[in-house]
Amino acid sequence: MRISILSFLTLSLCINLVGCSKNQGSESVLKIENGAITYEVDGFLQTKISSTLPGTKTLMPTYQSSEKITVNGKAIDRFDHQETRESSIAGDLPGKQWILQGLYNKEGIGIQKTVRLTTYDSFPDLVSTQVTYTNVSLENLIVDNWSNNTYTIESQNDEPAFWAFQGSSSSSRSDWVKPLEPGYYQKNFMGMNDSDYGGGVPVTSVWRKDVNVAVGHLTLVPKQVSLPTEVFSNPLEARIGVQEDFSDHTVWKPKDTIQTLETFVSISTGDYFASLSNYSELMQAKGITVAEPEEASFEPIWCAWGYERDFTLNEVIGTLPKVKELGIKWAVLDDGFQIAEGDWNADPKKFPQGNIEIKRLVDKIHDNGLKAKVWWTPLAADPESKVLREHPDSKIIQEDGSPQYITWWDSYYLSPTKDATIAHTKETVHLFMEEWGFDGLKMDGQHMNAVAPDHTLDQPNNSFEGVPAFFQMIYDEARSIKPHAVVENCPCGTCMSFYNMASMNQAVSSDPLSSWQIRHKGKTYKALIPKTAYYGDHVELSDGADDFATSFGIGAVLGTKFTWPKDNPNASGKYLLTPEKEIIWKKWFNLYNNMMLSKGTYLGGVYDIGYDKPEGHVIQKNGTLYYAFYADNWDDNIQLKGLDENKTYLIRDYYNDETLGEISGAKAVYNASFENFLLLEVTPK
């Protein structure tokens, strides 16, 4: 929580704590128009938002209590307006700012509310909010929570009523993008939700067919707040907002202040792509620096995980010629080579000669003309691992005195800001990339997305907020050894922390549960970090274990974990590259290397991933548009959106190498019949 003692300032408020408002009820005291968003404040410091985008309908008919604080079990959401001041902001992020002040004084509770509203010149359609509350009572208060940008949005009777992107993570590994029906609720806590799961993207984006409303926070480090989403049935409405909950019986003393995070509301059309894209650009303008793209990160990948943990060196080495023959450029040594999590030297049971055997494997990979990447799970250490034997105090200790446990790995969390953790991590990077010669890192594990507060630190939340800096350290260390190192962050099944995205040059769909997840995760990454390579993960994790079209059509890097010339009998799946499968695999990897759509520009605003049918995606490269459509079965017209109405285009089904004719941009409707996917190349004539 953020409670600090400040001088008791009442500014222009009534010192005697009596109601002396100049404005009451629904009378407007401020109206902000910024691009397509209109933001109004009434005499109770309640707000109403609306959109001026063409074709958009009412979001909310009346003012709502969008910012409130709960004290002594009571939600305080109406404050008598006292003053409004307007000013300009100069500097690197110029804009305008409004300060509104109000007072609540009833039943012995006195609270001064100061609201700071900000618009940024370079970011229309968005208004940010930060609130400072001062306890001007004569007694202590008990504070439960604050909430900002809480809006209840009317339905327009779409089917479904609403779609949403929600950026939280939990062990359910649920879809990040989903339709919302009456009775739906999700807390979207950005801290730890389960033993291994937490963090994410601090944005909720809810949309109807006509308009999207997004809320989130703009702090440059992760914070333990919630972004709850709820849908009511009578009337049919969706509620979103940002909330911070305090611990039980948190005392708020007279003259102390509580300051919220800077939060925001934004308006756009279409699905969530524009809202996430604008959010990311604003966060970068505020100071987050995203890693530059790396050429090698767009090259296709083979991973030895098809052989699982009981692989042999002969199996991996024996597969390399087939990997090269298929046109794949990377070979990944996965889990099972190490002594333990936290002791990353070669396991002598598998490598009797020790680390030199892994060095020889890397040399074999290089001899086959391939690049080598190694699997690794940083921040995890087994109870008897070397790092914990030598540095037992490097663990995260929770408030109850117990270590934070990683259920999946049967390991403990290392505290990311402690010197011993950092030194151990740097040593590991040097082992992998300097001593063994690997060209890239595959960092893996859902636990990497967030950690719990470490109560051995003076400021326990420093561990939670310090995770992004930890991964930046890894990225910098790897690139200092190999300037073109590929650094992949694979937080299994989680909605990856936005703050960790800055410190990698390869994102991944990260153990997807369906092809739908591969596609909408790809759209998410291409909104937030559009220049960073997005890897669709092993094709064996897609629908039917062979859905290359899903990754290909959204501009993802192709990958596989096939085994050859035989399956590992102890592997959990059947990954053998049979002669029949080899024909398919070879075709897709040849197409990928020839077209490299992963380097094109993904046009995420063309199709609404929720309401447009069939599901559509578009990539632009060298003046040509590449359309990808997905449906179980489709036999109807498809609108080819995004074409110039003054041009005529040639259409080709590039997967089947079939010319389909011409189409005019003014009448860009194509009658199509397909199962599962349709991939079109549309070129100006």
Instruction: Give the C-alpha separation, 44 to 23, whole Å.
Output: 8
pLDDT single digits (tens) 236-260: 999 999 999 998 889 999 999 999 9
CATH number of 295-602: 3.20.20.70
Q: Euclidean distance between the first and final Cα of the chain, in Å?
A: 61
pLDDT single digits (tens) 504-516: 999 999 999 999 9
Give me the residue label for tokens 């809202």: 275
pLDDT single digits (tens) 575-633: 999 999 999 999 999 999 999 999 999 999 999 999 999 999 999 999 999 999 999 99
Region 179-198: what's the mean pLDDT?
A: 96
What integer pLDDT is reported at residue 568 of this predicted model?
A: 83
Q: What is the 3-state secondary structure (H, E, C) of 159-222?
A: CCCEEEEECCCCCCCCCCEEEECCCCEECCECCECCCCCECCCCEEEEECCCCEEEEEECCCCC
pLDDT above 90 (res 574): no
What integer pLDDT is reported at residue 25 of this predicted model?
A: 59
- Please state, rounded to an integer, the average pLDDT across all residues of the chain: 95
DSSP-derived letter for residue 557 is B
Task: Give the sign of the dihedral formed by CA 340, CA 538, CA 293, CA 499.
Answer: negative
What integer pLDDT is reported at residue 624 of this predicted model?
A: 98
Residues pairing with 674 in the sheet? 634
- Domain-wise residue ranges, the chain: 3-286, 295-602, 622-684
Give 313's contacts (C-beta < 8 A, 6+ positions apart).
350, 351, 357, 361
Tokens (6 digits) for 482: 């190999």
Domains 3-286 and 295-602 share a fold: no
Please check whether residue 542 is in contact with residue 550, taking contact to mean a CB–CB distance below 8 angstroms: yes
CA–centroid distance for 235 within its chain: 31
Pairing outcome for strands 615-621 and 338-340: unpaired
pLDDT above 70 (res 200): yes
Q: What's the pTM?
A: 0.95
Region 396-416: what's the mean pLDDT?
A: 97
CATH 3.40.50.2000 for domain 3-286, yes or no, is no
Q: How many CB atoms lie within 10 A of CB 86?
A: 12
Give 393's contacts (C-beta < 8 A, 6+ positions apart).
418, 420, 456
E strands of 503-592, at which residues?
506-508, 533-535, 559-560
pLDDT single digits (tens) 91-136: 999 999 999 999 999 999 999 999 999 999 999 999 999 999 999 9
Q: Dmax of the chain from CA atoms? A: 86
pLDDT single digits (tens) 517-540: 999 999 999 999 999 999 999 999
CA–centroid distance for 683 within its chain: 33
Instruction: Give the C-alpha separation, 639 to 203, whole Å.
Output: 30
- How would residue 149 be classed by pLDDT, with cut points 50, 70 and 90? very high
- How would residue 24 be classed by pLDDT, with cut points 50, 70 and 90? low
